[in-house]
Amino acid sequence: MHLNVKGLFHCFPSLTAAIDVLDDVQLEIQSGEFVSVLGPSGCGKSTLLNVISGLLTPTSGHLFIDDVEVPHAQSQVAYMQQKDLLLPWRRALPNAMLGAQLNKANLMDAETEARKLFEQFDLAGYEQHYPSELSGGMRQRVALVRTLLTHRPLWLLDEPFGALDALTRMRLQDWMLKAWENVQQSILMVTHDLDEALVLSDRIYILTPRPAHVHAVIKVSLPRPRDRMSVAFTEVKKELWDVLSEVLSKSD
C-alpha cells in the first residue's frame, strides 16, 4: 500500500493559546517500504500517527492511499500506540487476539498464529496472565503481537521497542526485519533510537521541534542485514547524527 500525506497541519485548540503541532507535513511510504520517524520529544510524532490512523481529524491536509484521496487510513492500518492499551480485564492471549477478532478473522488460525508469536517473543507461558501481572516490556510485546495479527497493509508503530532492554530490543528488531522481508509490509515506525532507525529503515524522516515539519529525509541504502559495527553503518550514523544535531540546536 502506498500512502502519501500532503500539507498536513494540526492545531489543538486550548482556552489559553492554541497548540500548533503539525506544520505542513509531507510524508510518503511506498508499497513495502520501511520508513522511520525521528524527532525531539513532544514535537508531534504520535499526533502524526493519530491523524494517519483516523483517531484524530487534522486541522487541514490531504491523505492519499494508492493515489486515491481518503479522510484517513483507518481500515488499512494496524496501529500500535505508544501506550500499550491492553484491556486490563482480558488475559494476554485474548488481548493479543483482539484485532483479529474485530477483523472477523478465523479465530482458530489467529490463535495458532498468536501462540507461535508468543513463543517467538518469549511470552510462552504467559498466555493466561492479566496485563497487570506482566512487566512493561512484556505488555509491549503483547501489544506488538496484537498489531501484527490484524494483517493490515500498513503498520503504524509508535516506539514499539521503547520499554525493552537492549538485548531483547535487538532481537526483536532482527525479528521485525525478517517479518517485514517475508510479507513486504509498508511500515511507519516512530523511534528515538538512531541504531534502530538505521538497522531497519529504507528512509528516515527527521522532524523539527514542535510544530513538526519535515527537516530532512535520509535514505539508507546499506544492504540488509546491516552490521551495526561496520564502517559503512557508522558513516551513515554520523550523517544522521549531524542532521539531528541541527534539529536539536533549534530547540535550545
Ligand X SMILES: Nc1ncnc2c1ncn2[C@@H]1O[C@H](COP(=O)(O)OP(=O)(O)OP(=O)(O)O)[C@@H](O)[C@H]1O
Provide the binding-site residues for Mg ion, judged by CB under 5 A.
Answer: 45-46, 82
Q: Which is nearer to Mg ion, 33 or 158 (CB)?
A: 158
CA dist list (Å): 53 to 33, 61, 163, 226, 230: 18, 14, 22, 30, 36
12 binds ligand X (CB under 6 A): yes
Cα 112 to its chain centre, rounded Å, is 25
147 binds ligand X (CB under 6 A): no
209 binds ligand X (CB under 6 A): no
Q: Give the three cell numbers for residue 106.
A: 478465523
CA separation for the pair 162, 1 (Å, rounded): 26
| Residue 38, amino acid | L
Measured in degrees and rounded to the nearest 5, phi and psi for residue 54 equal: 90, 5
57 binds ligand X (CB under 6 A): no
Q: How far is the CB of 223 from ligand X (least distance, A)?
A: 30
35 binds ligand X (CB under 6 A): no
Taking CB under 6 A as the criterion, the residue among 152, 210, 215, 226 binding ligand X is: 210
CA separation for the pair 124, 33 (Å, rounded): 31
187 binds ligand X (CB under 6 A): no
Q: Which is nearer to ligand X, 12 or 89 (CB)?
A: 12
Q: How far is the CB of 46 from Mg ion (least distance, A)?
A: 3
CA dist list (Å): 190 to 43, 55, 161, 179, 224: 12, 17, 10, 18, 20
Please choose, out of 36-44, 105-113, 117-125, 224-232, the segment that lies near ligand X by the rule CB under 6 A.
36-44
43 binds ligand X (CB under 6 A): yes
Q: How far is the CB of 210 from Mg ion (least distance, A)?
A: 11
- Number of residues interacting with ligand X: please give it, by CB under 6 A: 13
Q: Which is nearer to ligand X, 44 or 160 (CB)?
A: 44
Q: How far is the CB of 222 from ligand X (least distance, A)?
A: 26
Looking at the chain, list the stretches that DSSP marks H as alpha helix, in order from N- to C-terminal side.
45-53, 92-96, 98-102, 107-120, 136-148, 166-183, 194-200, 231-250
Q: How far is the CB of 44 from ligand X (least distance, A)?
A: 4
47 binds ligand X (CB under 6 A): yes
153 binds ligand X (CB under 6 A): no
Burial of residue 9 (CB within 10 Å: 0-12, 13-18, 19+) is middle
